[in-house]
Amino acid sequence: MRVVDLIIKKKLGQELTKEEIHFLIDGYVKDEIPDYQISALLMAIAINGLTEQEQFFLTFEMLNSGDQIDLSSVEGIKADKHSTGGVGDKTTLVVAPLVASCGVKMAKMSGRGLGHTGGTLDKLEAIPNFRIALTDKEFLNQVRDISIAVVGQTGEIAPADKKLYALRDVTGTVESIGLIASSIMSKKLASGASHILLDVKVGDGAFMKDLNEARKLADAMVKIGNFAGKKVVAMLTDMDQPLGIAVGNSIEVIEAIETLKGNGPEDFNTLCIELASELLLMTEVSNTKEEAVKLVKEKINNGEALDKLRQMIRYQSGDERVIDDYSLFPSAKSIITIQSDVEGYVEKINTLEIGRAAMLLGAGRSNKDDEIDLAVGVKVFKKVGDKVNLGDVIAEIHANEKNIDVAIETIKAAYKISSQEVRKNQIILDIVS
């Protein structure tokens, strides 16, 4: 086989075989095929797409290039959830304990944030002494004992994807449904869960800006998962404004704890209940949606879901007192409120810009190796559809020294206030299964 022939084949829109995909990915991982040839191939794929078969084979090639978590020694149903990422997305911190408190095993590997999107691992590190790096043995024991663990990647998951993604990033070939679906699913399948719920974010703060494109991505990922023998459901959810109120690290964990105490912001609370109940339906813990929602609400009201989070923090050496005493979280030197100088209704909040403001304050990374400040962030009190009076506090920043003025200006510019009434955003946009 010659690489150039396969590049030409893909350029002509023809389908690559399993053996050809193996030859390309294996050769690339082993440094036998140079970046420039794979770049050309990726561009041909970005333009002509990948067939379903090609997506399956590419996913398995990338999956098999690295380690896979073996959860077979853990009894019970093992589930996982994955979000394609957004602003203020602290869902795992609520949904994982909720579902675990219903008896489903949640063995979850999470990631760090980059750019305007936050990462669950960074958020967890706002809890003093919390360990995100467990050994495989500790990880499995914890899931066996208390049904939940949220950790950083153990071993090397899908190194082929890592190498390809880095190349896609600098060759304008990230945006391709087939490549994105294979990339995400290669990592999800490595986590060893039998049931996977995908939260595909849609909107200006998400990777997928358009509902139809997001549907195509969801459909592709569900098909790949089913091909691998997994039960996969994708929920398409709103990211046309930040999720909940808090965008940052400490402040998002506090919001997640409040949600488990029954005091969550409306949109975030609704999303968590929907995701958790979908997981209960998928895993057949509940037979109907109504039953699932009732059980989830019960676990919030009776405090069992919050106890599950407390248990997880304790097992991972964190200071569990944070649940009752928020002063133990890193906190910012100043809180500065931003008031509205007009009256009307919030028509739009530029989500990317809110994420960027939080990042400028230090809550996120513009480069992979940047240090982050766990204490800082943004709170958006007024959401799309809300009435705003002159002088109302629309947002506040939690800041240390960095970029205070530019963050305030960025937030002000992100708000668009209309004189007309505006409908609230719907949080669940579609479900693909």
Active site residues: 82, 161, 168, 183, 187
Q: Please state, in angstroms and rounded to a whole number, the distance separating the CA atoms of residues 406 and 233.
A: 40
Q: Which is nearer to ligand URA, 140 or 206 (CB)?
A: 206
The alpha helices in 230-346, defined as continuous H runs, are 250-260, 266-282, 289-301, 304-315
Nearest approach, Cβ of residue 326 and ligand URA (Å): 32
Alpha-carbon radius of gyration of the chain: 22
Give me 268's structure tokens. Answer: 């975030």
Residue from 183, 249, 286, 403 touching ligand URA (CB under 6 A): that is: 183
Q: Please state, in angstroms and rounded to a whole number, the distance separating the CA atoms of residues 368 and 116.
A: 12
Sheet hosting strand 246-248, strand order edge to edge: 246-248, 377-380, 393-399, 334-339
Q: Which is nearer to ligand URA, 111 or 128 (CB)?
A: 111
Q: Per-residue string for binding with ligand URA, 121-160, x by CB under 6 A?
A: ----------------------------------------
Residue from 50, 106, 127, 180 touching ligand URA (CB under 6 A): that is: 180
Q: Which is nearer to ligand URA, 174 or 228 (CB)?
A: 174
Q: Please state, in angstroms and rounded to a whole number, the distance separating the CA atoms of residues 273 and 429.
A: 15
Any residues with CB less than 8 A from the CB of 158 and at least 6 apart, and which? Answer: 62, 63, 65, 66, 183, 186, 187, 190
Q: Per-residue string for binding with ligand URA, 203-222, x by CB under 6 A?
A: ----x---------------
Nearest approach, Cβ of residue 52 and ligand URA (Å): 17
Sole window of 133-141, 176-184, 279-287, 315-323 interacting with ligand URA (rule: CB under 6 A):
176-184
Question: By CB under 6 A, what part of segment 31-90 binds ligand URA?
Answer: none
Q: Which is nearer to ligand URA, 220 or 363 (CB)?
A: 220
Helix axes 52-63, 177-189, angle to 10 degrees: 40
Beta bridge partners of 246: 379
Residue pair 84/184 in contact (Cβ under 8 Å)? The answer is yes
Residue pair 418/219 in contact (Cβ under 8 Å)? The answer is no
Residue from 6, 104, 158, 184 touching ligand URA (CB under 6 A): that is: 184
Nearest approach, Cβ of residue 33 and ligand URA (Å): 20
198 binds ligand URA per the rule CB under 6 A: no
Q: Which amino acid is at 373?
A: D
Sole window of 152-160, 180-188, 217-225, 405-413 interacting with ligand URA (rule: CB under 6 A):
180-188
Nearest approach, Cβ of residue 61 and ligand URA (Å): 15
Question: By CB under 6 A, what part of segment 344-363 binds ligand URA?
Answer: none
Nearest approach, Cβ of residue 183 and ligand URA (Å): 3
Q: Please state, in angstroms and rounded to a whole number, the distance separating the CA atoms of residues 429 and 287.
A: 23
Sole window of 4-12, 48-56, 172-180, 290-298 interacting with ligand URA (rule: CB under 6 A):
172-180
Instruction: Give the count of residues interacting with ligand URA (CB under 6 A).
Output: 7
Sole window of 143-151, 173-181, 252-260, 305-313 interacting with ligand URA (rule: CB under 6 A):
173-181
- 3-state SS, 253-273, equals HHHHHHHHCCCCCHHHHHHHH
Beta bridge partners of 151: 109
Nearest approach, Cβ of residue 219 and ligand URA (Å): 16
Q: Which is nearer to ligand URA, 131 or 209 (CB)?
A: 209
Nearest approach, Cβ of residue 165 and ligand URA (Å): 6
Beta bridge partners of 388: 344
Task: Please give the residue whose beta carbon sits closest to ligand URA in the complex.
Answer: 183
Any residues with CB less than 8 A from the CB of 349 and at least 6 apart, and which? Answer: 241, 242, 380, 383, 384, 414, 415, 416
- DSSP 8-state assignment for residue 230: -
Beta bridge partners of 148: 106
Q: Please state, in angstroms and rounded to a whole number, the distance separating the CA atoms of residues 116 and 421.
A: 29
| Cα dihedral 87, 93, 99, 100 sign | positive
Nearest approach, Cβ of residue 204 and ligand URA (Å): 16
Point out which residues bind ligand URA (CB under 6 A). 165, 174, 179-180, 183-184, 207
